[in-house]
């Protein structure tokens, strides 16, 4: 093909042979349906597969989300779009992605054996389709030569790192997935009634996720509607899939022979798992990472909330990420050099295994691996005892500063009036404004502690995950700690750089790591990965609150699992952060080492 062909769109009938509803049977005899797009000609061709846990016929839920399969087929690939088990047109029962290791393996090997296949198979997908891609990679099928995963988790969990329940997204997602389950029920009268109840809940989604206990939400509480998965999700421990889960790349980050490309967003709720997997592949020459300032939705359009960083929109315009996928698969499935896709090669070519967008500098850089090499810079939290709100006296000072005194700051957390979510890693419009948002909308509240540095004299670029260590005590046996790192610009705009969360009952890998009221403990809150430059004249700020709602569920500050309790038993907690040089409270930033990033 010529460079001018790259990115062309056309109808599915132009230069294609498309067969709908092609059957494949899994090792246990379950029939799965696929649509197969073949280029015109004799073939054979390398095959790229997308496995869809929603409905392969719904373009908005996957089949065209990052690339039009018809366009990809016209680049000389056979394309298979398959409904996963128990979804769309496929038979069987959906098991919350647990079946996608074996089924993904079977699909890859089936595709490799077809008469129109060269035997070289790739997989791709974003979000849920990216998760099924990761599951197949974990199974290491012998014919899976390459894969691309975009804003995707490596395993299905309902809790963020640190333990809080992703209440608004997970509630919506449970209702969405219940629709297909209900549509398959033989009792049509019950199915109609259940669908009406689901749609009513969707129509008042904020009221739905406000419900406590969450386990009582109708119709999710009905095991016929959800096949019992709702209670499993509510009770799930952090980082643990439901019973019956199979191997995941989180547990065993081995990609075998598969050339794996991740496309991750700093403010995507799936990002922590993607960056952890990328870090585990630092010595692999078959691994590449593209990391940008996106949220879960922003990767498709480049939208980043209240700011639009330059050069971060979808590289192929209406074709989405197609040129990048085509270049990757050209190299790894048919031995090409990607030169027929110059736009795609501009994203994956060049030196280093990582291409990352550096906010603040507003430019793309490359690095050998993730995270780029860095040096630790520590900042001390200090105040005169009134760090509540941005109008308080909380300060961040370099650890080298002398003459500081130790003290403490007090702040309350009320589950009936929780500190509100303001931007960050939201996956749905109904959750509120996502991505970059001016934190001045919330930092004047009295239920947040704010510590701010003096204006910087020289730029500081941070990379990877950051950490806030706190000497913390509470009046409650369980507490939530939500941290936001902020870049305060000279005009006052308070840009949320990254954030992290900790539910203290989970801090030691158990569900019952209770606090002793009034007794200080050391807590460590990891903030999500980023690459960001604080420019001269900007100030570094850290915000600490006891809530982040509705992104995360409210902590009732009792021993009751918060999602199973009721506001009637909720308690207002009084938290204390001990600060100053005589305490363990400090902000630990990883500053990019000289030469670690190439612009």
The residues spanned by each domain of the chain are 16-155+253-367, 167-235, 374-592
Contact (Cβ atoms closer than 8 angstroms) between residue 592 and residue 395: no
pLDDT at 146 (0 to 100): 98
DSSP state of 312: -
Q: Which of 48, 144, 50, 155 lies closest to 105 in space, CA to CA?
A: 144
Cis peptide preceding 154, ω within 30 of 0? no
- Residue 549's pLDDT is 98
CA distance 389 to 352: 42
Nearest residue to 579 (alpha-carbon basis) of 449, 475, 444, 419: 449
Half-sphere exposure of 389 (CA within 13 A, CB side): 7
pLDDT of residue 320: 85
For 83, phi then psi, to 5°, come to -75, 135
Specify whether the CB–CB gap between 48 and 78 falls below 8 A.
yes
What does the pLDDT read at residue 318? 57
Read off the pLDDT of residues 274-303 as tens digits, 9 standing for 90 and up: 999 999 998 888 899 999 999 998 998 888
Distance (Å, rounded) from C-alpha 33 to C-alpha 21?
5
Q: What averages of pLDDT result for each successive group of 10 residues across the chain (599 residues)?
A: 34 76 98 97 96 92 83 97 97 93 97 98 96 96 98 93 96 96 96 97 97 96 93 82 66 88 96 95 89 93 87 75 96 96 92 93 96 97 96 96 91 98 94 96 98 98 98 98 98 98 94 96 98 98 98 98 96 97 96 97
Residue 305 carries which DSSP code?
B
Q: Kindly report the backbone phi and psi dihedral angles of residue 68, in degrees, each rounded to the nearest multiple of 5, phi listed first.
A: -75, 120
| 144-178 residues labelled b (16+ CB within 10 A) or e (exposed) | bbbbbbbbbbbbbbbbbbbbbbbbbbbbbbbbebb
List Cα–Cα distances, 371 to 254, 295, 590, in angstroms.
Answer: 18, 19, 10
Residue 348 has what pLDDT?
A: 94
* 424: CB partners within 8 A, 6+ apart: 267, 295, 434, 435, 437, 484, 496, 499, 551
Rounded to the nearest angstrom, the gap between the alpha carbon of residue 357 and the centroid of all alpha carbons in its chain is: 17
Strand partners, 573: 413
Choose the CATH number for 16-155+253-367 among 3.40.50.1820, 3.40.1000.10, 3.40.1030.10, 2.60.120.260. 3.40.50.1820
Please give the Cα distance from 301 to 550 (Å, whole number): 24
Beta bridge partners of 239: none
Q: How far apart are CA 172 and CA 203, in angstroms?
A: 10
How many whole angstroms separate alpha carbon 234 and alpha carbon 228?
11
Q: Which CATH class is domain 374-592?
A: mainly beta
d(CA 413, CA 424): 20
Question: In Å, what is the CA distance from 104 to each residue of 99, 134, 273?
Answer: 8, 9, 20
Q: How far is CA 263 from CA 148, 260, 298, 533, 550, in A?
A: 8, 10, 12, 21, 27
pTM of the full structure: 0.95
């Amino acid at each position: 093909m010529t460079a001018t062909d790259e990115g062309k769109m056309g109808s599915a009938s132009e230069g294609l042979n498309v067969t709908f509803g092609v059957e494949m049977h899994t090792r246990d005899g379950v029939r799965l349906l696929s649509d197969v797009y073949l280029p015109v000609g004799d073939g054979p061709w390398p095959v790229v597969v997308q496995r869809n846990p929603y409905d392969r016929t719904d373009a908005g839920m996957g089949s065209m989300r990052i690339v039009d399969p018809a366009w990809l087929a016209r680049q000389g690939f056979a394309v298979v779009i398959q409904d996963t088990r128990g979804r769309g047109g496929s038979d069987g029962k959906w098991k919350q992605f647990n079946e996608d290791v074996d089924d993904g393996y079977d699909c890859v090997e089936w595709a490799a054996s077809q008469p129109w296949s060269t035997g070289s198979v790739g997989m791709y997908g974003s979000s849920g389709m990216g998760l099924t891609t990761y599951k197949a990679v974990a199974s290491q099928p012998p014919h899976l030569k390459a894969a691309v995963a975009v804003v995707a988790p490596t395993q299905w969990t309902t809790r963020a790192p640190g333990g809080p329940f992703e209440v608004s997204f997970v509630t919506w997602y449970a209702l969405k997935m219940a629709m297909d389950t209900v549509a398959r029920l033989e009792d049509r009268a019950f199915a109609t009634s259940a669908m009406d109840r689901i749609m009513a809940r969707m129509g008042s989604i904020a009221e739905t996720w406000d419900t406590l206990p969450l386990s009582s939400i109708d119709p999710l509480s009905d095991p016929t509607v959800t096949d019992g998965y709702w209670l499993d999700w509510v009770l799930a421990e952090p980082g643990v899939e439901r019973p019956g889960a199979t191997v995941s790349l989180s547990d065993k980050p081995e990609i075998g022979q598969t050339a794996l490309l991740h496309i991750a967003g700093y403010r995507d709720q799936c990002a922590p798992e993607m960056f952890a997997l990328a870090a585990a592949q630092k010595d692999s020459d078959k691994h590449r990472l593209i990391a940008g300032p996106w949220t879960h939705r922003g990767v498709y359009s480049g939208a980043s909330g209240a700011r639009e960083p330059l050069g971060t929109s979808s590289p192929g315009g209406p074709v989405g990420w197609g040129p990048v996928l085509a270049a990757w698969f050209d190299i790894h499935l048919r031995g090409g050099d990607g030169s027929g896709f110059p736009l795609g090669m501009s994203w994956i070519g060049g030196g280093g295994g990582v291409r990352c967008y550096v906010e603040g500098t507003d430019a793309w850089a490359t690095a050998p691996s993730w995270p780029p090499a860095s040096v630790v810079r520590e900042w001390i939290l200090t105040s005169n005892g009134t760090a509540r709100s941005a109008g308080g006296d909380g300060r961040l000072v370099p650890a080298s500063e002398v003459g500081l005194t130790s003290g403490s700051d007090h702040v309350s957390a009320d589950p009936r009036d929780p500190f509100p979510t303001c931007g960050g890693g939201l996956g749905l419009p109904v959750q509120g404004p996502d991505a970059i948002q001016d934190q001045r909308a919330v930092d004047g509240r009295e239920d947040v502690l704010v510590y701010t540095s003096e204006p910087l004299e020289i730029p500081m670029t941070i990379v990877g995950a950051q950490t806030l260590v706190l000497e913390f005590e509470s009046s409650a046996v369980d507490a939530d700690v939500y941290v936001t790192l902020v870049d305060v610009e000279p005009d006052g705009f308070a840009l949320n750089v990254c954030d992290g969360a900790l539910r203290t009952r989970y801090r030691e890998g158990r569900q019952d790591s209770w606090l002793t009221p009034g007794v200080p403990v050391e807590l460590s809150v990891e903030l999500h990965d980023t690459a960001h430059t604080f420019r001269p004249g900007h100030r570094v700020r850290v915000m600490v609150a006891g809530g982040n709602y509705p992104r995360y569920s409210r902590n009732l500050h009792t021993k009751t699992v918060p999602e199973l309790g009721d506001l009637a038993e909720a308690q207002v907690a009084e938290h204390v952060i001990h600060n100053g040089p005589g305490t363990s409270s400090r902000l630990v930033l990883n500053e990019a080492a000289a030469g670690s990033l190439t612009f």
